[in-house]
Chain A
């Protein structure tokens, strides 16, 4: 049953995967696809050279051929003898293109920076979940209390505060003022990669503020979600049965109800994955965190179209896989899903 469900989910995510690449490709093709016309304005370049450059870059081919080439399908078809011309390696083989500015491979940049982004995002995710669940449970158990109202307010504030402003305020307090006051202060940026031999503790100090900022908005949303999910579970029959059998409130709440109440969080996290990656990008920029988002901005400012496009495609593909993973995990945790 699970296999069937899993297969269905995998198949359903294939069009989205292709859609993401088509979207990225169309954008670049429509707007900057003809990079070479700029060369025509240069009087010292001959027409045949332009033709040659266009041919070498594959720009003389129709867009659908260019797309398939970029995707790496051309390479596969070539092996089967069904492809005209010289295909390039494509996305399928992890080739996300090269920079139009300095010719470096986008995949190399991703390899350098992805661990940093993941480290930040996963820490924020864990931090958010670990704080959201107890907060949500407290809210549900003391519904209508002052604590509950306070948390409702906090959750609205959490989604309304600009993360970059929160980041700046934290830097002002913990990096600037703490140093002025002679207290132990937190660094506002300049993290060394622990993979490059950086000190793990130093790394953790650098990670603390960005992770807190990134988790803040999600903390707000997830704690509310846990609260309503918890309220729903607590009103179910099995909870009443457990109580009627004489089981203690704490035991029922934390052992039996909580388990089922947090399951829907998995779906929510899956749905918010794109937002988390976006948020991570902004946070990386504020705290000079050497991740993919900050690199994308740097490339954008340098008008490095192909790099931004490669990064966007990569991140989007990553998110589609993340979503798929969340869906499958949900089905593992909640068997009812597989049947419906």
Chain B
């Protein structure tokens, strides 16, 4: 083995990092992936933008109180349709409400719906994918046909149907004007893709030797699934989750826009845009800012999602 020449002898305490360059220490999969993700500057920048937006959303009441000094519902009928001015950085709407404040509060809805929906989507899709892939046979056939069915109905029709039927799930009635219910509806329609991805990954992981070994030692099914299979397909689930968020935000905005989601006076980006359709002759900014908010958020989330995919699953690139 050829030893690379070292210019100067290194002090003993600095040997760690210096050696790491020459003999690469074994790194865990997660550390390595994180390293790859961190190296992707554009991806990290977009991730940071999303994070800042999320923080702004969480802090919206404080910002409204101390920075913009407006309540999202406060009407000033003397100040309607203002363009961006010093007191209203993004102008005002037809009731003289501050657009910036309303956008910040709208971000809360977006953040809530997106986080709840993506969690549910991953849990349901992941569970179905794991169970179908692991057990195979009739279980797999039934579950995957169900996925086929859900994926072949154009989602907007299912969403429209669910928003008007407002089905009960256990003790909860799914009223789409409530962000959490809306998230559940979006997740119910959207888990199919995740299930397919996870199942595909399970099919390849379960053939590996360690699975056979664990099974030979007598581990029961659920233990095999959750202790041994799950960590090995977790990366696929993370990738699927980060790629799904953008689509979820778009879906939520679209539902609000067509009037079936979050209802005014609660501000959401989608219903602000719907509102702007009526008043754009008075102020073009009513169209521009909410749309820009959706676009930038989804764009950053998608770029970040792509970065996560490239970092965690280089094969998919």
Contact = CB atoms under 8 A, between A and B. Distances in A.
Interface in B150-185: 150-158, 160-168
Contacts of A303: 164
A297 interface: yes
B104 interface: no
A22 to B, nearest CB: 8
A15 interface: yes
A178 B145 CA distance: 50
B149 A308 contact: no
A163 B298 CA distance: 12
A312 B158 contact: yes
A296 B167 contact: no
Contacts of B135: none
Interface stretch (A122-130, A247-255, A271-279): A271-279
A164 interface: yes
B83 interface: no
A276 B303 CA distance: 23
Contact of B160 (A169, A277, A297): A297
A316 B150 CA distance: 9
Contacts of A176: 280-281
A189 to B, nearest CB: 11
A308 B155 CA distance: 13
Contacts of A168: 273, 276-277, 280, 287, 291
Contacts of B160: 296-297, 300, 308, 312
A65 to B, nearest CB: 22
A39 interface: no
Contacts of B257: 162, 164, 282
A101 interface: no
B150 A23 contact: yes
A161 B297 CA distance: 10
Nearest to A152: B306
Given A19-B146, A164-B273, A176-B280, A312 B153 contact: yes
A16 B299 contact: no
Nearest to B162: A27
A20 B149 contact: yes
Interface in A143-164: 156-157, 159-164
B295 interface: yes
Contacts of A163: 254
Interface residues of A, number: 48
Contacts of B107: none
Contacts of A315: 153-154, 157
Contacts of B151: 274
A27 B159 CA distance: 12
Contacts of A340: none
A277 B299 CA distance: 23
A32 interface: yes
Contact of A319 (B152, B165, B166): B152
A255 B209 CA distance: 47
Contact of B153 (A20, A31, A162, A300): A20
B152 A312 contact: no
B210 to A, nearest CB: 30
A312 B161 contact: yes
A172 B287 contact: yes
Contacts of A312: 153, 157-158, 160-161
A323 interface: yes
A207 interface: no
Given A16-B149, A282-B258, A316 B273 contact: no
Contacts of B284: 172
Contacts of B294: 162, 165
A305 B160 CA distance: 10
Nearest to B254: A282
A320 interface: yes
Nearest to B259: A301
Interface in B262-317: 273, 276-277, 280-281, 284, 287, 290-291, 294-295, 298-299, 301-303, 306
A328 interface: no
Nearest to B158: A312
Residue from B157, B277, B290 whose CB has the most chain A CB atoms within 10 Å: B157
B32 interface: no
A281 interface: yes
A308 B154 CA distance: 13
B158 to A, nearest CB: 7
Contact of B291 (A15, A169, A300, A319): A169
A156 B291 contact: no
B153 A274 contact: yes
A212 interface: no
Given A160-B246, A308-B164, A316-B154, 6 more contacts: A162-B250, A165-B295, A169-B287, A278-B157, A281-B154, A312-B153
Interface of A: 15-16, 19-20, 22-24, 27-28, 30-32, 156-157, 159-165, 168-169, 172, 176, 274-275, 277-278, 281-282, 285, 293, 296-297, 300-301, 303, 305, 308-309, 311-312, 315-316, 319-320, 323
Interface of B: 145-146, 148-158, 160-168, 246, 250, 253-254, 257-260, 273, 276-277, 280-281, 284, 287, 290-291, 294-295, 298-299, 301-303, 306
11 contacts: A19-B145, A24-B153, A27-B165, A31-B167, A159-B246, A160-B295, A160-B301, A176-B281, A278-B157, A296-B157, A305-B165
Closest 5 CB pairs of A and B: A165-B291, A19-B149, A278-B156, A277-B154, A160-B299
